[in-house]
Structure 1
Amino acid sequence: MTTKESPSQAAPEFPFGATGETWLSILESEGLADGQPAYVTSPLKEPKEVYPPEPGIDAADFELQPRGLPPERRKKALDAMATYLINKRDHMLGYQFNQDTDGAQLDLSRFLDCHVNNMGDPFDHGGYKPNTRAAERAVLDYYAALWKGKWPHNPKDPESYWGYMISMGSTEANLYAMWNARDYLAGKALLKPKTKDDSLHFVQAAPPKDNPNALIPIAFYSQDTHYSFGKAMRVLGIENFYAAAKNRYPNDDCPLGGEWPTEVPSKPSSKKGLDDGPGEIDIDKLVPLVSFFVEKGHPILISLNFGSTFKGAHDDVELVCKHLLPIFDKKGLVERELEIIKGKPEVRRGFWIHVDGALGAGYGPFMRMASEKPEVFGWTPEAELPAFDFGLKVHAKKLGKDIDMVSSISMSGHKWPGAPWPCGVYMTKVKYQLAPPAEVQVIGAKDTTFAGSRNGFSPLVMWDHLAQFSYKDQVERIRVAQEMAQYLERRLKELKAPVSLNVARTPGSLSVRFRRPNARICAKWSLSSVGQNVHAFAMPSTTREKIDELIFDLQASDAFTITKKPPIVELEEILAAVEAVELAPGAISWGAVAFTGRGME
């Protein structure tokens, strides 16, 4: 039996919202508190005194009341939010989010009068007709061409691309990629035309008798990888190599010598004691770690970064593939037989390479165009980016043929080219598609996506941008952004400061790192920090005027204060803490996932 809160049991009275009235008096004015048990609970404290403040916003203006807000107060609150957001937009440097949305709202605001939902597979008809699938498919084709995929999508061609536009940022695409990779490598049934026995969609192969590890994938990603991968490992129950080493092979030595690293090390810094390494994965460390688990019979799941980390680095995807394919080829992971239906073995590979191109996959193809055709585009980039897409092939000597290496790619549309809200693209190939968890008749389409209901506005925003800018325009946008990054780096190095600013930038990156200034400056420019460093991203919305204003702020006498080292948990401390914990019988460790750094503080 449930009870309602009576007025006498309500929280102590205090002013609530912008009018200064109490919650109880507001209820009474609406006839909702007349001595009888109340229909709702009362606040225990004034929310704006509890929640973290946002300088420039009076939270009381936004506190919602049972009677709603009068038009003038609603307008006042919205005007305040608009002023706040415009100010923050004009001073955004710390995150790789493009603030220039090209005035899309002028043409697209009319669509806000419609509920637009692209639920289900973008290549199905779907029962819900207020959708933007036509625009979504056009955007997907656009990026399939840039990423050297086979298009348009053809469900009968295993080499054809398949993908969809995500409603979140690349975190959703990365999570979906890891889910797809986990189940593909674990021998789950692939997406195929319907058979008479639909139950076959939800089965899994048994591991070969001579290899019990054949369907247990092991994940690898670098220490500079976005923190969402640690989260994905937890959500999906995928073992990274550190957890697998500790739980499955506790008596085996690390092939790198010493203690097992929790993540694949990145290339080291050039100067001792400084975190000025380029941010790329250390291939010399990756190869022996992968080899160890290949020898144990495991399939391999690798995620590589392309311009998307704190340092904006581009992993050399092509070189990684050239080093690893001979290992996969030798151990039969390029083509291996799995048997789900008795007597009908199917061939699929035992490795999956995902590219987190949240930022770089958006501009990388245009930098490649400029590098290959400077006479056409009038610009030669300072760094030639490595191949990262579906066109990347490596020759397998044992099989005697070229092998396509990349299984999936993710990209954030709000980073590049730019959108007013998080969105992006996930793309793979038909041959890697898994049978969906459910056949949903009510939506009239296969539920092959992560979320089911999907934002139908993002495809319109992305389509509208791509319709306005040619390839040459896109090359010009990345040229200007690269120029702004170089300009910011130069201005920071010229700045006179009481402490070393440790200015660093990886060639070809849009990220410039330097010593963390005071909290006031970090808040003004939304600077993301890791340890004692922050980074600024030169996006298409970055101008010389913004950079000059930042430099002016950094010239203040109190811009940089010498403080004690912030309480960051170093790798050695993490390992020591993990080793010191005595697990209960039967308990296992899922690995030490970083909880500071990479902008997580």
Structure 2
Amino acid sequence: MAMAFNSDSELFPMVNVNNAKLSIEEERRENVDEENRRKDLPINECMGEKDANLDAIIARYAETINKYNLRNLGYPTNQDFNYDKLAPLFHFHLNNAGDPFVGSSFSLNSSPFEVSVLDWFANLWNIDNSEYWGYVTTGGSEGNLHGILVGREQFPDGILYTSQESHYSIFKIARMYRMHCVKVGSLFSGEIDCVQLEASLLSHKDKPAIINLNIGTTMKGGIDDLDLVIQTLKKCGFTRDRFYIHCDGALFGIMLPFIKQALKVSFKKPIGSVTISGHKFLGCPSPCGVVITRLKYMSAISRDVGIIASRDATITGSRCGHAPIFLWYALKKRGLIGLENEVHECIMKAHYLLNLLRDAGIGAMLNEFSNIVVFERPLDDDFNRSWNLACSGNIAHVVVLQHVSVEMLDTFVHEFIEKRSIWSKDEQFKPLCIANDVGSKNCACLMHTTYHITFSFLSTFVTYPTTHSCSPPPAATSITVLRRLQPQILPPPPSSPSKDSDLTTVVLMPTLRSTTVVATVAVVAAILTLSLLGIYYLCLTLL
């Protein structure tokens, strides 16, 4: 029987790139060639040849990579490590296929190291050794794959709830598992909006809930409030036997336990699984991670595998045996005190960067207990690439890890300021508005800067009582006017204010004179604001 072959057009659909039609395969090849050109690597020269100068190619590649390493700010990979002591182990193939607690018929494994690492994380997240199960993964995404799989096996008809700020792997997993996924809105911080979550839960109250919580979102470092989510589930009528919580702690899952005031991720709470990445904060040289779940859930997904004489409940088959040793070495080398010091140092340097950016008039945000500084996206892609910046829409971020020095941050901000001045002269630069991403208070665009200046100007004349600090005061009840600016307007203060009165507030009856003053100040402020906004939009039109 004749075999049918697809045409090239069917195998490689056409895509439009820069008005030139390229197949996906051609585009892929162009990307590879461009990467080689940028790194000046003659990799193609050695394809199919035995006598290529491999040492020279590797040496040149190492030199190029080191240049990138010295300016690596945007992605959460700690480059401050040295595993030279483990070099002898690279003479062996180590494979940890199967259940690390059962072992396998393949003797070249590192299961003892793996179990030691798993015990360490079980202790970190407060679950007894006899009550947990886990394994070393290829990274945070595999940990998410496993954690959500466990949840789905508990509740096959469950609905997956996750915030819009979640890692892209969560949405990929929902497609892979063909799960009904509800995307919940988030706050400016990146934290899940529990008001929206409550509404979504009530809309699907007949189905169990599988919740993915972000212990640090990818872009903003927003931390979902685990305790508030648990309260929301209870408020919506979800009992413990009708929900499963998976915690994606790729970066912060190992950092938060060393911050006393931070949210506690603990199996003492009704969570089902936690995952972290080993190549991020810990600085393993290859992608890896850890997932921990409750042992009682594992019977639903464990299977006997005869060829390796083991049980298996992992996502992959063969698993790298070197990764657990890297993790073990990183944990033992630092110790608890060393890890705690590194966590606090990273957060301190993140605050340093935040201040540098704001002092330069650049909009920026840093969440509490976070080492991820979010700021307006630089307009030059070459500049972003030179610093390995991660960008999304109008924002970019820097992840301050152990390898990031104060000198690196100084150089980065200095170059950023220089580039901004060049863009401005070339009439290419309009400060990006990031208010929709991080809130107006963290935005430094012209419109919001004008607003802040006007608000500050107005607040020097009129200040609301401290008892109403979160909202405007009720109409015609009380105002505060600085007497040094308007001494003739207000009557003298009472000689002996009552215990309950606010010392910074003078209570007035709504007289015509006080109302006129407030109205006049408000009108002046409004006119000033509108004038500045008019100038701003006129400039935009002319540019």
Regarding TM over 0.5, the answer is: yes
Query: Residue in 1 aligned with 2:283?
Result: 418
**Equivalent of residue 507 in structure 1, options 358, 364, 368:** 368
Q: By percentage of residues, which structure has more helix? A: 2
Is 2:311 aligned against 1:446?
A: yes
> Is the CA contact 2:153–2:301 (under 8 Å) kept in the aligned structure 1?
no
CA RMSD in angstroms, aligned pairs only = 2.5
**Equivalent of residue 388 in structure 2, options 520, 526, 529:** 526
Q: CA deviation at 1:486?
A: 0.4
Q: Distance in 2 between matches of 1:164 and 1:231?
A: 22
Q: Distance in 2 between matches of 1:46 and 1:301?
A: 37
Q: Distance in 1 between matches of 2:228 and 2:348?
A: 27
Q: Distance in 2 between matches of 1:531 and 1:45?
A: 24
Q: CA deviation at 1:385?
A: 1.6
Q: CA deviation at 1:58?
A: 2.4
Query: Residue in 2 aligned with 1:327?
Result: 236
Query: Residue in 2 aligned with 1:558?
Result: 422
Q: CA deviation at 1:444?
A: 1.3
Q: Deviations over 1:402-457 (max 9, x none)?
A: xxx11010100111211111101011001121434642111111121110111111
Letter in 1 for 2:197: L
- Aligned pairs for 1:198-213 (under 5 A) are none
Q: Deviations over 1:166-198 (max 9, x none)?
A: 02x201110111112111112xxxxxxxxxxxx
Say which structure, 1 or 2, has more relative contact order (CA 8 Å, 6+ apart): 1
Letter in 2 for 1:480: E
Q: Deviations over 1:556-598 (max 9, x none)?
A: 23367426989xxx9xxxxxxxxxxxxxxxxxxxxxxxxxxxx
Query: Residue in 2 aligned with 1:99?
Result: 79
Structure 1 pair 100/564, CA: closer, same or farther in 2 (3 Å)?
closer
Q: Distance in 1 between matches of 2:319 and 2:430?
A: 46
Structure 1 pair 524/46, CA: closer, same or farther in 2 (3 Å)?
closer
Is 2:101 aligned against 1:236?
A: no
Aligned length: 407
Structure 1 pair 313/45, CA: closer, same or farther in 2 (3 Å)?
closer
Give secondary structure in 1 for the equivalent of 2:195.
Answer: helix
**Equivalent of residue 158 in structure 2, options 212, 217, 224:** 217
Q: Deviations over 1:54-77 (max 9, x none)?
A: 56412433444323342xx21221
Q: Deviations over 1:137-156 (max 9, x none)?
A: 000000100101112xx3xx
Query: Residue in 1 aligned with 2:298?
Result: 433
Q: Deviations over 1:445-472 (max 9, x none)?
A: 1121110111111110010111112211
> Is the CA contact 1:62–1:77 (under 8 Å) kept in the aligned structure 2?
no
Is 2:125 aligned against 1:147?
A: yes
Structure 1 pair 449/81, CA: closer, same or farther in 2 (3 Å)?
same
Q: List, as ranges, runs of 4+ consecutive aligned residues in structure 1 with deviation greater than 6 Å.
A: 43-46, 563-566
**Equivalent of residue 57 in structure 1, options 29, 39, 60:** 39
- Aligned pairs for 1:277-426 (under 5 A) are 277-294=188-205, 297-329=206-238, 333-334=239-240, 349-367=241-259, 371=260, 384-392=261-269, 405-426=270-291
> Is the CA contact 1:124–1:445 (under 8 Å) kept in the aligned structure 2?
yes
**TM-score, normalised via structure 2 length:** 0.71
Q: Distance in 1 between matches of 2:394 and 2:422?
A: 16
Q: Deviations over 1:339-394 (max 9, x none)?
A: xxxxxxxxxx2211111000111111111xxx2xxxxxxxxxxxx221222122xx
Query: Residue in 2 aligned with 1:582?
Result: none
**Equivalent of residue 54 in structure 2, options 70, 74, 80:** 74
Query: Residue in 2 aligned with 1:136?
Result: 114
Give secondary structure in 1 for the equivalent of 2:210.
Answer: strand
Query: Residue in 1 aligned with 2:186?
Result: 266
Letter in 1 for 2:292: M
Q: Distance in 1 between matches of 2:374 and 2:230?
A: 29
**Which protein has the larger Cα radius of gyration, Structure 1 or Structure 2?**
2
> Is the CA contact 1:389–1:409 (under 8 Å) kept in the aligned structure 2?
no
Query: Residue in 1 aligned with 2:17?
Result: none
**TM-score, normalised via structure 1 length:** 0.64
Letter in 1 for 2:422: D
Between the aligned residues of both structures, percent identity stands at: 28
Q: Distance in 2 between matches of 1:74 and 1:143?
A: 40
Query: Residue in 2 aligned with 1:39?
Result: none
Letter in 1 for 2:185: P
> Is the CA contact 2:41–2:61 (under 8 Å) kept in the aligned structure 1?
no
Query: Residue in 1 aligned with 2:141?
Result: 171
Unaligned runs of 5+ in 1: 3-42, 155-159, 187-215, 242-262, 268-276, 335-348, 372-383, 393-404, 571-601
Q: Distance in 1 between matches of 2:169 and 2:203?
A: 25
Structure 1 pair 280/117, CA: closer, same or farther in 2 (3 Å)?
same
Q: Distance in 1 between matches of 2:214 and 2:31?
A: 41
Q: Distance in 2 between matches of 1:238 and 1:530?
A: 26
Query: Residue in 1 aligned with 2:505?
Result: none
Structure 1 pair 522/472, CA: closer, same or farther in 2 (3 Å)?
same
Letter in 2 for 1:218: I
Structure 1 pair 292/48, CA: closer, same or farther in 2 (3 Å)?
closer
Q: Distance in 1 between matches of 2:287 and 2:148?
A: 20
Q: Distance in 1 between matches of 2:329 and 2:173?
A: 32
Letter in 1 for 2:225: D
Query: Residue in 1 aligned with 2:333?
Result: 468
Q: Distance in 1 between matches of 2:44 and 2:56?
A: 10
